[in-house]
Structure 1
Amino acid sequence: MTIRKKILVYFTTAVIPLLGLSLFLIYTLFYQYREEEFQQSQKEKITVTLQYLAEVQKVDNEILLSYDRKTIDSMYDEKLLIYNNYKQRIYTSLDDTPVPYAEEILNELSPNTRWIETKDGDYDVVGIYFESGMKSYYGISKAYDAVGYSKLRFLRNTLILIFVLISLVLVLLSYYLSGRISRPITEITGKITRYDPEEEGSPITVSGNEQEIVLLTRHFNQLIRRIQEAFAFQKNAIHHISHELKTPIAVLVSNFEKLEKETDPEAIRMLIERQKEDTRSLGEIINVLLEIAKTESGDRISRSDIRIDELIFDLADELKALYPLHKFSIAYTGIPEDESRITVSANEKLLRSAFANLMLNSIHYSSDNRTDIGIAAYARELKVEIVNKGETITEEEQQYLFQPFFRGDNSRGKPGFGLGLVFIYKIMILHKGTITYTSGNGDTNIFTATFPLA
């Protein structure tokens, strides 16, 4: 069932029964009011008749007949019976309407039971006990409320007509409003159905200013934008990674061919060293890609407690063996007494790869063969700064620094694939940390890695 039909069905099935119940209650209340009002009229008729009889000291037939003729038209189809204190009938109206329960009502009336009301079909029957002076009387009245029932029928027909007309208006109004309410949903559903996320296009828009629809549209556009970014990343990744993997392998094959013909030992050594470095970089990138792919597919990364300073010292020793002319200077900003302040829960392979890339960048982009590393432990976070002097990244380029395959002007002529900083950024995100870059005084590259501490 569509939303429009649901709105139509739910609204009409909720409101129309309530309308019918309200009109039925009105009819019921009027019905009870008619009965009470007519019975009160009967009581007044009995009381007036008893008062009249009580004032007549000598009752003769002519007086009673005259009174009966005078009051016979006050109620339609009425029978009035009046009894003295001995329950002997002293007055009977001219109507021939029978009162089948007269004896039972008369027997129930007493000083303790002064009022009895009952029904005989559509007739209202009342009995009262009345005292006048030193005497007591009993009266029984049976009458048909022709005027009241006529009004009741008119009210019933009027309420039925009102119910039908209002129900029809409610159905039409519900149909119109459900169309107005569901129109933006139908519109956005149609646009979503026809939308191709692989095609470049403007975000979808819908008419109306309903907050829920606007929010749904905004989130859908955000989702589409992320999907498009993922598609773009996938396409670029396949293109660039295949290109970057193919190129060094082709160079490696070419260098091997050169090695077959090369006779100079120094040239052979240089070719081998270069290929070893490129092959090692490719291996690291492939390993990091595999680990990140595992986490993005839903697998939890394995973690262990790692002392950041020990990891950095180990990497510095390894890189020192490869780059003996480069110097690493590692300093603490306050040595914490508690070693947990410089310990983080992390995946050692990923974290080692991240810091290895940062330290390798400091080697490749250093102008004085020196890298300064600062380790600072605070109450809630641990910061590691990797600083080297050299050509910096411009402010315009910094916004693209952590995007795939971006390489700044300062990287011309230097080895690399433009993926290292992207992987570092993702690794820090996986560990709920951050990585930032600043250019110092304009001649210094500063990368700051920050880890939250428990």
Structure 2
Amino acid sequence: MTIRTRFTLLFLAIFSILLLVFCLVIYFESENHREQEFRTRLRNESITAAAIFFNKESISPDLFKIMAQKQMTVLNEEEVRVFDKEGRLRFENTNHKFKIDSSILATVWLENELFWNEGDQQMYATVIPNNEEEFVILTSAVDKYGISRQNNLAFILASGGVGMLLLGLTLGNYLIGSFLKPIKEIIVGIDKIKESNLSSRLNEGVEKDELFQLKMQFNQMLERLENAFESQKAFVSHASHELRTPLTSITGQIQVSLLANDNPEELKTMIESVLEDVQQLNKLANNLLELTTITGNESKFKVSLINIVELIFQGRSDLLIKTPGALIMLDHEDSDGNPPEVKGIESLLMIAILNLMDNGIKYADNKTVEVSIEDKSSELAIKFENTGKGITPEDMKNIFEPFKRGSNSHKIKGHGIGLSLTNKIIELHKGKIEVKSTPGKLTSFIVTIPKNI
């Protein structure tokens, strides 16, 4: 069922309920007015009948009946009866046999007047005194005109209600269609946007309403999606280039070795060069795999309590073996006797620390990196400092973008993935990396990690 159909049915249901309540109120108010009006007429007829009855001694009984019929406003099937204190019938203007229940008379004598219905007949009885006697005047009639008027009103309300429902259905369907027209336009506009034209945008219009906000938010989402696609394309392009470079080198060296003489020293040198290229290729593949594994797969990693000092010492030992002549100095004091610890993913934090120390060694003039730890109440701040070429403001803008390398890194091996991977790892731990650098002087990477993630 479409939204238009649901809204139309909802509108029709609400409109029907309101219309039904309106018609019922009118009908019952009219019915109440009819009944009150007819009761007033019955009361007046009773008073007129009493006046005629109390003056009947001066005229003959036959003439009395004629006068009663002439002077009283004749209602449909009107009947008048007079009862004395003992319940005896003293007068009636009809030959229709009627027997009143003694309990009703008792109620009339007690309450002075009483209205009730017997079938279509509306009955009214009241006590009227005359000299030293009291009589019950009982008047009954059928309000044929009032009932006919009520039936006619019910027919008008019913037929008018059906007509109003049909009109409401038509009008509601049209109005809801008009309200949903902009949404249809949005759907058509979205349907036209494909992967080949992600630069297309929805027309936001000039009305600053909810639909404008929806279009604006959708256009912003398209902007992010387009940027993601462009980043993905650039990532694939850079990755292909970085993979092709060592593969080309390996292929060339193997081809040269096939043409060369069987000189053991030359072959050994060739194999060592190929091995170095393979190791670089393997490192690149591992970094790419780790980068893609981290994104969107946080739940698969195991969180544990990590001693940061031990982690840094372990990474320091590995780097010093691979990089002879390097120096990594750690500055930290356990002021309260407790080692600095955080809850995190040990394997990933090791990668981040190794990358930051390795970068510091590569770009330092003396291959020296200073690492300091500041233990705060709810977080740890780990600073990696070196003295060297530094980072230019232009390079700082893209420092965490994959495959983006600084202008001073041409002679330094690398692929531009390390810092991007490190930044994602720190973000995964709800931390941040702050970079400060003065070209030709000090460069600092300050990693802040909360103790609980």
Q: TM-score range by the shorter chain?
A: 0.7 to 0.9
The superposition leaves residues 352-373 of structure 1 with CA deviations (integer Å, 9 ceiling, x where unpaired) of 2222221221122122332222
Other-structure match for 1:309:
309
Q: Give the drift of 1:292.
A: 4.5
Of 376, 392, 408, the residue aligned with 1:410 is 408
2:338 partner letter:
E
1:124 partner letter:
Q
The superposition leaves residues 159-212 of structure 1 with CA deviations (integer Å, 9 ceiling, x where unpaired) of 345424432432233112211222222222222233213433233235575755
Of 388, 393, 396, the residue aligned with 2:394 is 396
1:109 partner letter:
L
Of 223, 242, 262, the residue aligned with 1:244 is 242
Q: Is the 8 A contact 1:184 1:208 kept in 2?
A: no
Other-structure match for 1:370:
368
Counterparts of residues 404-443 of structure 1 (less than 5 Å): 404-440=402-438, 443=441
1:104 partner letter:
I
Q: Is the partner of 1:104 in helix, strand or coil?
A: coil
Structure 1 pair 283–134 and aligned structure 2 pair: CA distance change class (3 A): farther
Inter-partner Cα distance in structure 2 for 1:211 and 1:378: 47
Inter-partner Cα distance in structure 1 for 2:304 and 2:269: 39
1:39 partner letter:
R
1:383 partner letter:
A
Counterparts of residues 278-297 of structure 1 (less than 5 Å): 279-295=278-294, 296-297=296-297
Q: Does 1:104 align with 2:103?
A: no
Q: Give the drift of 1:56.
A: 6.1
Counterparts of residues 28-427 of structure 1 (less than 5 Å): 28-54=28-54, 58=58, 60-61=60-61, 64-65=64-65, 67-93=67-93, 98=96, 102-105=98-101, 108-110=104-106, 111-112=109-110, 114-160=112-158, 162-207=160-205, 209=207, 212-255=210-253, 272=272, 279-295=278-294, 296-297=296-297, 300-332=300-332, 334-339=333-338, 342-427=340-425
Q: Is the 8 A contact 1:5 1:178 kept in 2?
A: no
Q: Is the partner of 1:438 in helix, strand or coil?
A: strand
Greater shift, 391-400 or 115-124, is seen at 115-124
The superposition leaves residues 327-377 of structure 1 with CA deviations (integer Å, 9 ceiling, x where unpaired) of 222212x5342535x222333332222222212211221223322222111
Q: Is the 8 A contact 1:325 1:369 kept in 2?
A: yes
2:146 partner letter:
G
Q: Does 1:23 align with 2:19?
A: no
Q: Is the 8 A contact 2:121 2:140 kept in 1?
A: yes
The superposition leaves residues 40-62 of structure 1 with CA deviations (integer Å, 9 ceiling, x where unpaired) of 32123213422453466656437
Q: Is the 8 A contact 1:374 1:384 kept in 2?
A: yes
Inter-partner Cα distance in structure 2 for 1:125 and 1:250: 115
Greater shift, 21-30 or 229-238, is seen at 229-238
TM-score where L is the length of structure 2: 0.85
2:28 partner letter:
T
Inter-partner Cα distance in structure 1 for 2:368 and 2:214: 53
Q: Is the 8 A contact 1:197 1:227 kept in 2?
A: no
Inter-partner Cα distance in structure 2 for 1:34 and 1:80: 21
Inter-partner Cα distance in structure 2 for 1:344 and 1:92: 108
Q: Is the 8 A contact 1:428 1:435 kept in 2?
A: yes
Q: Give the drift of 1:428.
A: 1.4
Q: Give the drift of 1:3.
A: 1.0
Q: Is the partner of 1:201 in helix, strand or coil?
A: coil
Q: Is the 8 A contact 2:253 2:270 kept in 1?
A: no
Greater shift, 153-162 or 78-87, is seen at 153-162
The superposition leaves residues 234-253 of structure 1 with CA deviations (integer Å, 9 ceiling, x where unpaired) of 33333322321221132134
The superposition leaves residues 408-438 of structure 1 with CA deviations (integer Å, 9 ceiling, x where unpaired) of 2122232211211111111112222222322
Inter-partner Cα distance in structure 2 for 1:4 and 1:208: 24
Structure 1 pair 139–338 and aligned structure 2 pair: CA distance change class (3 A): farther
Q: Is the 8 A contact 1:129 1:136 kept in 2?
A: yes
Q: Is the 8 A contact 2:49 2:80 kept in 1?
A: no
Inter-partner Cα distance in structure 2 for 1:280 and 1:450: 32
Inter-partner Cα distance in structure 1 for 2:103 and 2:309: 111
Greater shift, 262-271 or 125-134, is seen at 262-271
Q: Is the partner of 1:409 in helix, strand or coil?
A: coil
Aligned length: 447
Q: Give the drift of 1:7.
A: 0.8
Q: Give the drift of 1:257.
A: 5.6
Percent identity for Structure 1 against Structure 2: 25
Greater shift, 250-259 or 42-51, is seen at 250-259
Other-structure match for 1:12:
12
Inter-partner Cα distance in structure 1 for 2:370 and 2:101: 115
Q: Is the partner of 2:9 in helix, strand or coil?
A: helix
Greater shift, 29-38 or 217-226, is seen at 217-226
TM-score where L is the length of structure 1: 0.85
Inter-partner Cα distance in structure 1 for 2:179 and 2:164: 21
Consecutive unaligned residues of structure 2, counting only runs of 5 or more, are none
Greater shift, 151-160 or 299-308, is seen at 151-160
Q: Is the partner of 1:306 in helix, strand or coil?
A: strand
The superposition leaves residues 230-288 of structure 1 with CA deviations (integer Å, 9 ceiling, x where unpaired) of 4334333333223212211321343456676697969976983x666554444334334
Greater shift, 430-439 or 283-292, is seen at 283-292
Q: Give the drift of 1:301.
A: 1.0
The superposition leaves residues 43-84 of structure 1 with CA deviations (integer Å, 9 ceiling, x where unpaired) of 232134224534666564376246414424353442212222
